[in-house]
Amino acid sequence: MLTDILLLALSLLVLTGGAELLVRGAVAIAKRLGVSAFFIGLTIVGFGTSTPELSTSLMAALKGSGDIAVGNVVGSNICNLLLILGATALIRPIAIELRLVRYELLFVLLVSLLPFVALATDHTVTRWQGLAMVALLIVYLWRGYLTGRREESLRQAELEAELEREVGLDPAKPVNPVIAAQSIAAGLALLIAGSWLLVRSASGIARSFGVSELVIGLTVVALGTSAPELFTSVVAAVRKQSDIAVGNILGSNIFNLLGILGITAAVRPQTIDRQVFRLDAPLMLATTILLAFFMRSGSRLSQPEGACMLLCYAAYTAYLLLHA
């Protein structure tokens, strides 16, 4: 089992490095093509930080570990909302107006209901449902693109600065397309290798402890693949830019449900364990509602509220492990 633990730690490092390279390369290419900063932030950066979840879920689905694939998506969303935003708010309160993210928050609430659609198809997300989820993601991205085109020039300047802070890319610096393409290729290769290692090691650990693959997917794999979001949000809080975390987390959750679960189901229909409907999916939905309530009561996530979210995540994780 020691080998599996070492492979798990190695896989998380490989996934994080791969996501970083992919995001940097993709953003550079997009800017070379003249795509707006808003669209880059909404799509490439948001999707890039979710690539560990995508590659891991796809690899798990192809290897027949469907519980890890589904658990990774639902667990990552719960981790994003409770652990990452909770830790960020605990470091520094997140001041943000609800009206600025109202659409994204409502959209996250909507897509959080999608796993329950599988109840009508014998607890299975079918290939057609997966394709419909991907289509809905495309509609969401198209709206984001149109919104970005309508942004005022001042807001565009702010988004350029935000983009530079998030991925370390200087908007004024010329882009070398060859280096950017190499970065994308290297990032994809690392993500594929890291996801294979993560699924293999997590499955081995689950068998050693007698823990189900679903619980491993909801906890260890979800936390590991959420490392890019965790790193970005904590660094943003330390740099007094913690308001960035909310938009990143909401965007990541949308990609996780529509993009990752949708693409995974389109490749291979995913059967969802009954526990997901009894506990995990309702908690994901309730956590989103809790976030909206906290943001409405004072237009900020305070440190006590962040502590409350962390305690909720700790209790949820403890429950999973004790009842595994």
Structural domains of the chain ordered from first start: 2-322 (1.20.1420.30)
d(CA 115, CA 241): 33
Could you tell me the pLDDT band of residue 154, with boundaries at 50, 70 and 90?
Answer: very low
pLDDT at 184: 77
The one-letter amino acid at 112: S
Alpha carbon distance 171, 159 (integer Å): 10
Q: What is the mean pLDDT of residues 218-235?
A: 74
Read off the pLDDT of each residue in 135-145 and give the average, rounded to a whole number. Answer: 84
How, if at all, do strands 124-125 and 300-301 pair? unpaired
Strand partners, 270: 125
pLDDT at 273 over 80: yes
Furthest-apart CA atoms within the chain: distance in Å: 57
Q: Is the pLDDT of residue 41 over 70?
A: no
pLDDT for 201 beyond 70:
yes
Q: If you average pLDDT over residues 197-226, what whole number do you get?
A: 79
* 152 band by pLDDT with thresholds 50, 70 and 90: very low
| pLDDT over 70 at 36, yes or no | no
Which candidate, 41, 89, 11, places its Cα nearest to that of 302? 89
Nearest residue to 225 (alpha-carbon basis) of 71, 52, 31: 52
- Average pLDDT score over the chain: 78
Average pLDDT (90-94) is 83
| Alpha carbon separation from 213 to 65, 154, 273 (Å, rounded) | 7, 48, 11
Distance set, CA 262 to CA 70, 265, 311 (Å): 11, 5, 31
What integer pLDDT is reported at residue 136 of this predicted model? Answer: 93
CB 28 within 8 A of CB 171: no
H/E stretch holding 94: strand 94-95
Q: Which of 51, 39, 158, 147 is nearest to 103 (CA)?
A: 147
In this prediction, residue 84 has a pLDDT band, given cuts at 50, 70 and 90, of confident
Q: What's the mean pLDDT in 21-36?
A: 69
Instruction: Give, for 125, the enclosing helix (H) or strand (E).
Output: strand 124-125
